[in-house]
Amino acid sequence: MKKIIIFASVGFMFLFGNQTTASAEELTYDIYPTTQEKISTAIEQDKGNENYINGIIELFKTDIKGSSEELNELLIDSIEQAEITSNEIEQEKVLIDELQKNTIQNKQNRAINPIEAARAAYAAGILLVKAKGHPQTAKYMNYALTPNSKLLDLNWKPADYISNNDAWAKKVATYEGINANVYLKFYDEIIGKGKSYGTVSGSYQFTAGELHTSLNKVKYNVTFTKLSSGGYKAVYKITDAFDFAWDGQYDDIAVGFGNNYCFAMQTLTLIRKYNIVINYSM
């Protein structure tokens, strides 16, 4: 069964069914079954993909010369690029896990702080980070805390922390450094090849301020679609893992508790790693 999308001049809506009709003022596109299967799988594997994919479809409706085939091609390419990025993040997590296991083995003689002491120090660290003007970093740190009811469930982890087109997403996506990185690829892979749409992927490391303390090194997928006016619109999906491999991330705000207490918190399973997803359209 095809999923049929109708782009109306007064709005945007999904219609499902084998058959539908549209007036002359509407543009109708089909999402092919194989594409829909990829969409469903991508969203099931990563909830952050839902807003990213919807953003791409919303973006595509402005390309009045596009066809169903082009829409499906764009969606499949964007999803495949996002899958590659997701797999890279998972591989990095495995490497970090191995590194942390080795660290634990090498520090068996180190005394581990009691649970309450570790929690108190971590809470103090969160307050200090916030006081230093890094509220989003403090939110990410707080989000990693393991609820008492989940302490014995070693498989539990926080759900993805997703930011969609909010002030934080705008701050990340419009940062000059990452934009320069993205647009170099944009001009090379899309403008340079005469494409009217496409997806670019890569990574970027923030080196200062809260973007450094909260995200540090991120991966991105950015889908561009050409407008009838000649310009381009873009949908960003930026991802990172809150994985405690901070390596001096907090040195610039003098948070001395960093490595020692995060090692203790992690060893005691009081904080858990999770994925950070940032979606932004521009």
Q: What is the mean pLDDT of residues 5-30?
A: 41
**pLDDT, position 17:** 37
Task: Describe the strand order of the beta sheet including 274-281 as a list of residue ranges.
Answer: 161-164, 274-281, 232-242, 217-226, 197-205
- The answer as to whether 29 is a domain residue is no
- The answer as to whether 41 is a domain residue is no
**pLDDT, position 89:** 61
- The answer as to whether 20 is a domain residue is no
The amino acid at residue 50 is E
**pLDDT tens per residue across span 211-228:** 988 887 899 999 999 888
And the tokens for 194?
Answer: 């005469």
Q: Please say if the pLDDT value at position 20 is more than 60.
A: no
Total number of domains in the chain: 1
Global pTM value: 0.66
- The answer as to whether 92 is a domain residue is yes
How far apart are the C-alpha atoms of 215 and 249, rounded to whole Å?
9
- What domain range includes position 139? 79-281
- The answer as to whether 17 is a domain residue is no
**pLDDT tens per residue across span 49-62:** 888 888 887 777 66
- The answer as to whether 4 is a domain residue is no
Mean pLDDT of the chain: 75
- The answer as to whether 274 is a domain residue is yes
Q: What is the mean pLDDT of residues 133-146?
A: 88
**pLDDT, position 181:** 93
- The answer as to whether 22 is a domain residue is no
How far apart are the C-alpha atoms of 248 and 245, rounded to whole Å?
9
Percentage of residues of the chain with pLDDT beyond 90 = 24
pLDDT band, residue 190 (cuts 50/70/90): very high
